[in-house]
A and B are shown apart, each in its own frame.
Chain A
Amino acid sequence: GDSVTQMEGPVTLSEEAFLTINCTYTATGYPSLFWYVQYPGEGLQLLLKATKADDKGSNKGFEATYRKETTSFHLEKGSVQVSDSAVYFCALSSSGAGSYQLTFGKGTKLSVIP
Chain B
Amino acid sequence: EPEVTQTPSHQVTQMGQEVILRCVPISNHLYFYWYRQILGQKVEFLVSFYNNEISEKSEIFDDQFSVERPDGSNFTLKIRSTKLEDSAMYFCASSLAGGPHEQYFGPGTRLTVT
Interface 1/0 per residue, A36-49 and B, CB below 8 Å: 10000111111001
Are A51 and B100 within 8 A (Cβ)? yes
Kindly state the separation between the CA atoms of A100 and B30 in the bound complex, as whole angstroms.
Answer: 13
Are A44 and B91 within 8 A (Cβ)? yes
Asked whether any CB of chain A lies closer than 8 Å to the CB of B18, the reply is no
Kindly state the separation between the CA atoms of A101 and B100 in the bound complex, as whole angstroms.
Answer: 9
Number of residue pairs spanning A and B whose beta carbons lie under 8 angstroms apart: 61
Q: B46 CB to closest chain A CB, in angstroms?
A: 9
Interface 1/0 per residue, A11-54 and B, CB below 8 Å: 00000000000000000000010001000011111100101000
Interface of A is mostly: strand
Kindly state the separation between the CA atoms of A89 and B108 in the bound complex, as whole angstroms.
Answer: 15
With a cutoff of 8 Å between Cβ atoms, the chain A residues found around residue B2 in the complex are: none
Asked whether any CB of chain A lies closer than 8 Å to the CB of B87, the reply is no
Kindly state the separation between the CA atoms of A32 and B43 in the bound complex, as whole angstroms.
Answer: 17
Asked whether any CB of chain B lies closer than 8 Å to the CB of A103, the reply is yes
In the complex, which residues 24-48 of chain B have their Cβ closer than 8 Å to any Cβ of chain A? 31, 33, 35, 41-45, 48
Q: A73 CB to closest chain B CB, in angstroms?
A: 13
With a cutoff of 8 Å between Cβ atoms, the chain A residues found around residue B66 in the complex are: none
Chain A: CB-nearest residue to B44: A104
With a cutoff of 8 Å between Cβ atoms, the chain A residues found around residue B104 in the complex are: 43, 46
Given contacts A44-B105, A49-B100, 13 further A-B contacts (CB under 8 A): A4-B42, A32-B99, A43-B3, A43-B4, A43-B104, A43-B105, A43-B107, A91-B43, A93-B99, A93-B100, A100-B55, A101-B58, A102-B33
Q: Name B's A-contacting residues (CB within 8 A).
A: 3-4, 31, 33, 35, 41-45, 48, 55-56, 58, 91, 93, 95, 98-100, 102-108
Q: List 27 A-B contacts (CB under 8 A).
A: A4-B42, A32-B99, A41-B107, A43-B4, A43-B104, A43-B106, A44-B105, A45-B105, A46-B103, A49-B100, A93-B100, A98-B56, A99-B56, A100-B33, A100-B48, A100-B56, A100-B98, A101-B33, A101-B45, A101-B56, A102-B35, A102-B103, A104-B42, A104-B44, A105-B42, A106-B42, A107-B43
